Structure 1
C-alpha cells in the first residue's frame, strides 16, 4: 500500500496573495482601450437637404460606431459655424476640428488645389483619380501643397468618386459652343477658367446661393453636381433643360480635412479610425448615390417636365481645347500646378488606356434590354 503524501495546509495569507495575483492576471487579459475621450467638431459645406450632407453623415456614423465611446464626431451643416467656402480656413485655425468639402472651394489659395477635384480629364475618371491619390503621388503632393506651400495646419483625404458632372441647367438647349457665348454661368474651381475660355461669363457661388442668383438674373445657367442635389434645391423651378455629360468636372471627389495639430494629438488608434473610415464611407457614399441619382433623374423628367439631353460632341471638344489653354497658362505661371498636372497626366496615360479599352459598351447592353421602353437616344 502506497501512502500519498499529505499536502500542507495553505495559509490564509498565501491564499489571498495568490488570489490577488490570479485576479490581476485575469483583469489584465482584455485589451481595453485607454485612449482619451474626445469629441471633434466637423462642419460640411452643404445645406441640410443636400445628399452630400447625407454622405458626410455616413462618414460620421462610421467613425462614431468604431470609436464609441471614446471618439465622437459632432457634425454641423453649412453655416452653423462658417460659410460653405470658409470651412478650410476654420479647420486650419482650429475653429473647427474637421471639415467635409471639395477642393474647388479653396482653389483661390492656389490654382493647383483644383487639380484635386476639378482638373483636366486626361481620359480618366474619379475612380482613377482616387487610385492616383492613394497609390500614386497624389497624397504626398497634396500634403506638400497644403502644408509646405500654403502653410495650412491640416491633414486630408479624398473619397466618393463622383460620377461625371452634367454641363448643367439652361433655359434652352445649347447645341454648339456658339450657343454658350456670353452666357452668365455658375461653376467653381478650374471649371470656371475653362468655361471662361469658352466665352462664358462665370460667377462662383456655393450651392445654397444658386437658385436666388437665377431668380434675380445674376446668372442664366449653372451646374452644381448631380440629379439629386439639383432636384432637392429646386433646379427645375428655374430651368427646364438639363445637359448631361461634360469635361468641366469629370473627376471630382469629396474631401475630408482635420486640423493637423488636433489630429496628431489623438492616440494612434483614434487616428486610424478617422483615416480608415474614409475608405469605408467612400464605398457607402457611392452605393447610395447610384440608385438615388437614377431615381431622381427620372423624377425630373417625368414629374417636373425637364428636357434631358446629352451634351453635343462639339461642346465637349471645345471644352478639351479650353482645358489645353488653362493647363498651359497655369503650368507656365505656377510650378506646383505644373508639377501636379504633369504627374496626373503621366499616371492617367496607362490607367485610362486599360479602362477605356476594356470597358464594355454599356449603351449597347442598355438598349438591348430597355431600348423599346426607354431608349438611350444619342
Structure 2
C-alpha cells in the first residue's frame, strides 16, 4: 500500500511577536499562502513495494535481440518510478527458447520476449502474427492492424479461447524484411535451393517445403553448430547484426537479402495472465505502452547496428552480399498461395485472420504504395553505383 505523505506544519519561531502591523500581516499571509500552494503541488512519490517480474527471452545473451528486450525493461522500470522492475534473462536461463510461452502459462515465468512463430506448432495461425504471407504491407503496418484493424481480438481468441492459455500478449518492434539467408553457393534460381536442408521457423517452414527445401526448425543459438555438423546446408535467422554475432560469416559466405518468407515479423511480449491482471491498472498500462516506446528504441538500435554490421560483413569478412533474385521471390509468392489455401479451408479462425489482414492490406497498402516516395531513385541520385540491383 502506498504510504501517505506526511505534511509538517511550520511553527512560529520562538520569541516571535504576537501581533503585527497590517503590512507585516499581509506579507506573512502571502508567504504562508505561497508555502501552502507549494506544499500541495509537491509530487506525491510512491513508496509502494517494488514488484519484480521475471522475463525470459528466446535469445542468446549475445544477440542484439537481448539488448532490445532490455530496452523494453528499462522503459518499464523508469516509467513506473521503480514500482515495477523487469528482470530480463536470456534463452535457457530458466526454460528452453521455444518453451517460454508454456512457462508463462504455467507461471514458471512472469513474462517472455519472443516471436509467435516459435509456438506455431500448437496452431499454425500463430505464424500469421508476424511470419505469414505478405499482402503488400510491412511489419509496421501489420502492427497497426493488430492495434487498429482487429488483430488484438483475433490474437486473444486464438491464445485465450482456442488454445486456453493463461497469457496476455501484444506486439512490439516491426522488424525489417528478413534476408533469405546464408548459402554455400549463391542461388540464382529456385532450382539452386531445392533439396537443401534449410533452417527457418513458423509458416516459413511450410513455405520453403513447398518450394522444395528440406526444413529444420532451430533456435538461433543452435544454427551455427548445426551448420558445422552438416545438419543443415543453409539457413536464415533475422538480420546482419544477429547473424554476424553468432558467426554466420565463419561457416558460409553467400548472404542473400530480401525475401517474402518473413517480411512482417515483430516481437511478441507475453505475460502470465493472472500475474498481469493482479497489477494495478496503471502498471498494466505501462507494460503495454512501454512496448510502443520500445518499438521506436528497437528500430533506432536496429538501423544503426544492422547497417554497420552489413558493411562489416562485406568489407571485413569478405561476404558476398546479393539481393535475392526476383524469380525466387516470385516463386515464394506463388508458394504462399499454395500453403495458405488449404489452411483457410480447414480452420475457421485461420481464415478469418487472413481475411482481416487482406482487408487491412488492401486499404493501407494502397495508401502507402501510392504515396511513398521512390526512395531507391533518391538513393541512387546521391550515391550512384552503390546498389547492384
Q: If the length of structure 1 is used for normalisation, what is the TM-score?
A: 0.91
Partner of 1:202: helix, strand, or coil?
Answer: strand
Q: How many residues align?
A: 357
Distance 2:286 2:370 in 1: 37
Residue 80 (structure 2) aligns with: 67
Say yes or no: does 1:241 pair with 2:254.
yes
Secondary structure of the equivalent of 1:356?
helix
For 2:382 and 2:262, locate their aligned partners in 1 and report how far apart those are by CA, in whole Å.
Answer: 30
| Correspondence for 1:130 | 143
What is the CA distance between 1:37 and its match in structure 2? 2.8
How does 1:317-332 map onto structure 2 within 5 Å? Answer: 317-332=330-345
* Separation of aligned partners in 1, 2:192 and 2:326: 14
Partner of 1:19: none
Aligned to 2:220: 207
Q: 2:368 — aligned with what? A: 355
Which residue of the other structure, out of 161, 168, 175, is the alignment partner of 1:148? 161
Distance in 2 separating the partners of 1:332 and 1:185: 28
Return structure 1 stretches of 4+ with deviation > 6 angstroms.
none
Q: 1:266 to 1:28 in 2, by over 3 A?
A: farther
Q: Which residue of 2 aligns with 1:316?
A: 329
| 1:376 maps to 2:387 | yes
2:49 and 2:366 mapped to 1: Cα distance? Answer: 48
SS at match of 1:164: coil
Alignment of 1:48 with 2:61, yes or no, is: yes
Aligned to 1:3: none
Output the TM-score relative to the length of structure 2: 0.89
The yes-or-no answer on 1:259 pairing with 2:275 is: no
Per-residue CA distance 1:47-106 (angstroms, 9 max, x = gap):
011010010000000011112322111110110000100011101110000000001001
Change (3 A) 1:341 1:35: farther
CA distance in 1, matches of 2:73, 2:187: 40
Q: For 2:74, what is the secondary structure of its paired residue? A: helix
RMSD: 1.9
- 1:84 paired with 2:97, answer yes
Aligned partners of 2:53, 2:102: CA distance in 1, in Å?
A: 16
Contact 1:118 1:252 in 2 (8 A): yes
More divergent stretch after superposition (34-43 vs 244-253)? 34-43
Q: Distance in 2 between the 1:327 and 1:308 partners?
A: 31
For residues 218-248 of structure 1, give each alpha carbon's deviation from its aligned partner in whole angstroms, at most 9, with x where no partner exists. Answer: 1000000000000000000111000000000
* 3-state SS of 2:224 partner: helix
Kept in 2, the 8 Å contact 1:35–1:267? The answer is no
Deviations 1:276-316 (A, max 9, x none): 11100000000111121111000000000000111111100
Q: Which runs of 5+ in 2 are unaligned?
A: 1-18, 21-34
- Quote the Cα distance in structure 1 between the aligned partners of 2:177 and 2:368: 16
Structure 1 pair 303–30 and aligned structure 2 pair: CA distance change class (3 A)? closer
Gaps of 5+ in 1: 1-5, 8-21
Aligned residue for 1:304? 317
Does the 8 A contact of 1:191 with 1:248 survive in 2?
A: yes
Map of 1:111 onto structure 2: 124
2:11 corresponding residue in structure 1:
none
State the 1:109 CA deviation.
0.7
**CA separation in 2, counterparts of 1:117 and 1:333?**
21
In structure 2, the CA distance between the partners of 1:355 and 1:28, relative to structure 1 (3 Å rule), is closer
Q: Distance in 1 between matches of 2:122 and 2:237?
A: 21
For 1:273-292, what aligned pairs fall within 5 Å after superposition? 273-292=286-305
Shift of residue 33 of structure 1? 3.4
- 2-side partners of 1:128 and 1:95: how far apart? 33
Aligned to 2:95, the other structure's residue is in SS state: coil
| Residues 1:269 and 2:313 aligned together | no
